Copies of this chain bind each other. A is one copy, B any other.
Amino acid sequence: MSLIVQKFGGTSVGTIERIESVADKVAEFRRQGHDMVVAVSAMSGETNRLIGLAHEIEEQPTPRELDVLVSTGEQVTIALLSMALNKRGVPARSYTGSQVKIVTDSAHNKARIKQIDDVNIRQDLDQGRVVVVAGFQGTDEDGNITTLGRGGSDTTAVALAAALKADECQIYTDVDGVYTTDPRVVDSARRLDRITFEEMLEMASLGSKVLQIRAVEFAGKYNVPLRVLHSFQDGPGTLISLEENTSMETPAISGIAFNRDEAKLSILGVPDIPGVAYKVLGPISESNIEVDVIVQNVGEDKTNDITFTVHRNDLPRAEAILRATAEELGAREVVTDAKIAKVSIVGVGMRSHAGIASKMFKALADVAINIELITTSEIKISVVIDEKFLELGVRALHSVFDLDKPVPEEDQS
């Protein structure tokens, strides 16, 4: 018997039939004696429908009122799921974010959770009720309805689990766990039994879009064991926790992430004056363009080459800004390339395994892939390569780091 927080996303509750399936699953856990708290999203399509109504009125609707509007989406789901549970003889009670209460700051449309008042939830759990909470929403201290921004239901679930000191927070989604890499690219990609918060953050931010980054950060901060599971298929999923895989066979690398949403810009032959990186990148970030990889080299002629990547959609704007900067600084040339991909190997095992980087570079060289940029962090090495070699590179790395192989029996936790 434990306290479990479950979260079901929009697709999992997208129809009445699916809400009934979710009710079956929750009821089964409840019958096993677990205390259950369930956070849900709006039925799929509903949030977009509501935002569409707002946009018929105004391109930039009042943020406060937009929250009042879209928060109805989850409110519908909590009511329907509670009805479905009650129908099954499993007493359930729904709560909006305001009713819990999930107190946030007042940043409408992108509020952050400050505190959760769990008195109502505890009372219901004590009385044997399943508590169904609207994800993605809260209330500020003045009683205004707020939302956490899109996808924020994962964060709601993790925050509830943290506040209630739940034994596990289960995120149900349309995949059965976190994979060593994208199975659409590598046939032999394998579901991971477990992964650390840090690794998951690196995987998530690099494009394995299973969980909201904020939810993983939150879970890591409060050490809430997080499990990713498939909504409609049975299976153990992937457990995301503080602990590393401690068996003898700990692999060096947990997964391969990749991303083809970026574009590369280089400014070449910038005179080597102090603060040149700021002079080049300042105007870019002031235009709210997010910069990812940055590499700077001082060449032999004492001029600088600075290369960085931005989201591909931002390339035209970034290029215009960079050309203006180049003129101002007297740089030699600006070069851009939209046809790039970023490939990363991620793993806490990197800390205790030597030679990971050179093994990666050799694997790519063996299949004749030229590396254009390299960046490293403690548990991740990323390279930027020509987009057309993406699949080839990911497959080569997946194989060379032994991710194709099944995990030895003792690791199946």
Residues of chain A whose beta carbon lies under 8 Å from any beta carbon of chain B: 16, 19-20, 50, 53-54, 56-58, 61-62, 64-66, 68-69, 71-72, 75-76, 78-80, 82-84, 86-87, 93-94, 96, 98-99, 120, 143, 145
Contact check, B65 vs A69: say whether CB atoms are below 8 A apart.
no
**Interface CB pairs A-B, < 8 A, 19:** A16-B56, A20-B57, A53-B76, A54-B79, A54-B83, A57-B80, A57-B87, A58-B87, A61-B83, A65-B78, A65-B86, A66-B83, A68-B82, A68-B96, A69-B76, A69-B83, A72-B72, A99-B143, A99-B145
For the complex formed, measure the closest distance between the CB of A142 and the CB atoms of chain B, giving whole angstroms.
9
**B66 adjacent to A79 (CB under 8 Å):** yes
> Chain B residue with minimal CB distance to A71?
B75
In the complex, which residue of chain B has the Cβ closest to the Cβ of A139? B99
Whether A75 contacts B79 in the complex (CB less than 8 A), given A53-B16, A57-B19, A143-B99, comes out as no
Contact of A82 among B50, B62, B76 (CB under 8 A): B62
Cβ-defined contact, B79 with A69, below 8 A: yes
Question: Are B62's CB and A86's CB within 8 A?
Answer: yes
Which listed residue (B53, B58, B68, B83) contacts A75, Cβ 8 A?
B68
A94 surroundings in chain B (CB, below 8 A): 64-65, 68
Instruction: Indicate which residue in B68, B72, B75, B84 contacts A57 across the interface (CB closer than 8 Å).
Output: B84
Task: Give the chain B neighbours of A87 by CB distance below 8 A.
Answer: 57-58
Closest B residue to A54 by beta carbon equals: B83
Contacts of A57 in B (CB 8 A): 16, 19-20, 80, 83-84, 87
Residues of chain B with a CB closer than 8 A to A80's CB: 53-54, 57, 65, 69
Please, how many angstroms separate the alpha-carbon atoms of A16 and B94 in the complex?
Answer: 30
Cβ A75 vs Cβ B78 within 8 A = no
CB distance from A106 to the nearest CB of B (A): 14
* Neighbouring B residues of A53 by C-beta, 8 Å: 16, 76, 80
For A75, the closest partner residue in chain B by CB is B72
Name the distance in Å between A218's Cβ and chain B's nearest Cβ: 26
Give Cα distance in the complex from A244 to B78, angstroms. Answer: 50
Query: Which 8 A/B pairs are nearest by Cβ-Cβ distance?
Result: A69-B79, A72-B72, A68-B79, A16-B56, A65-B79, A65-B82, A61-B83, A62-B86
CB of A87 to closest CB in B, whole Å = 5
Q: Report the bound CA distance from A96 to B84 in whole Å.
A: 25
